[in-house]
Structure 1
């Protein structure tokens, strides 16, 4: 660890202009400069696959479920593909519908304006269970994602409806959204893109369960045999030897 810290310090010192009065004087980095650094921590050409899987499923107290899933991915040639899956349960006319929810969830509009990741579970009912889960998976030579059984190609929007409610899959503000409307029982939302990830579950009834699940998959190409970034860095530091480092 000490060796790594020394190497980083030496790199910073070597990159400073000669006219700098003090090589360790702190300097503020502007937002414009920071913006240029985004996404620069993976060498060009090493990303061979990027994909997103996202699903939202609502189950009420009668065991009825409504939900949808999406699978979006880009290959190494930046060719996109998007599939949508209906995850709603089959209708059963003998099931007694749940009693109407009487709770009311108020406020929270600002949660949709958060830049970054926003996860919330709010309940105005009893014995509800909500889960918002986001995973990032980085693999070597990651392959293409396989759409779920029953997935259909994206056509611009998708709506699925049954006794448990209605789910809408659509584009929203430059992102991809799954919105579940469970009627008087509440609603769930999941959105990714446009600089943020939003996962919400709002309960106004009782004994409901919501699962908002999202996974970001990144596949990286393995380095060529014998190519070592650490050794490459050490070679670049050879120029420091005449200076006494």
Structure 2
């Protein structure tokens, strides 16, 4: 029995390529190889919910705030749900007695940032004492509790939505095969956040002073827990079956 086992190990070693002298050594994969592996090891039946949440807010030196959020959810039946949320408090009386000095700075260039394939985050300031944050979180959870709860203040997507107040205006729209939030604070600057079309873009551009911008995005995936020995066993058998033509 032991001789048979050692013979099997010897044949397996001889069948490996010369470059694979240590099959357990970590090897870096190039982009083409990774593209072939994308999503292969997540069974479709295990995805309960996939979602994208974005929010952008701007607060100027007078404390006036404007912002918006957009949520895209895809459930286990591949049904999409998009909603928009207005993220600005009741601005009645907000900032009274505190004038906002016009911004005199000028942001130059940067047009290529929106054409990056992948993730692009930038904070550019031509003013003083500004605070910008671009943040992207990827959250993977297990069980139905991982599915995002709907926002009671959100309204169903019905095309582009815009909001305006003393701090500026914000527009939520579909652009370049994805979702975009564009925030215009007038002479104080602007902010942009976009997901889709092969890229994720987060930008904050300041031309005034004492402004605060928050661009926040979350990609979430909720997976269904499966009892050990069910679909995972079938997945393992299928992977082993693929080795048979190679003689393993």
TM-score, normalization: structure 1? 0.80
1:225 is aligned, of 225, 228, 231, to: 228
1:197 equivalent in structure 2? 200
2:186 equivalent in structure 1? 183
2:142 equivalent in structure 1? 140
Q: Distance between the aligned counterparts of 1:60 and 1:33, measured in 2? A: 47
Q: Distance between the aligned counterparts of 1:116 and 1:177, measured in 2? A: 15
2:73 equivalent in structure 1? 73
Distance apart, 1:236 and its partner CA: 4.7
Q: Distance between the aligned counterparts of 1:23 and 1:126, measured in 2? A: 57
Gaps of 5+ in 1: 1-9
1:160 is aligned, of 149, 163, 180, to: 163
Distance apart, 1:88 and its partner CA: 1.8
Q: State whether residues 186 and 205 of structure 1, in contact with CA within 8 Å, keep that contact through their aligned partners in structure 2.
A: yes
Is the alpha carbon distance of 1:115 and 1:101 closer, same or farther for their aligned partners in structure 2, counting shifts above 3 Å? same
Cα RMSD after superposing both structures: 3.3
Q: Distance between the aligned counterparts of 1:21 and 1:111, measured in 2? A: 43
1:113 is aligned, of 112, 115, 131, to: 115
Which of 74-83 and 41-50 deviates more? 41-50
Aligned length: 224
Q: State whether residues 88 and 160 of structure 1, in contact with CA within 8 Å, keep that contact through their aligned partners in structure 2.
A: no
1:24 equivalent in structure 2? 20
Distance apart, 1:44 and its partner CA: 2.9
Distance apart, 1:48 and its partner CA: 1.4
2:84 equivalent in structure 1? 84
Other structure's SS at 1:179 match: strand
TM-score, normalization: structure 2? 0.79
Distance apart, 1:166 and its partner CA: 0.4
Is the alpha carbon distance of 1:96 and 1:187 closer, same or farther for their aligned partners in structure 2, counting shifts above 3 Å? same
Q: Distance between the aligned counterparts of 1:142 and 1:52, measured in 2? A: 17
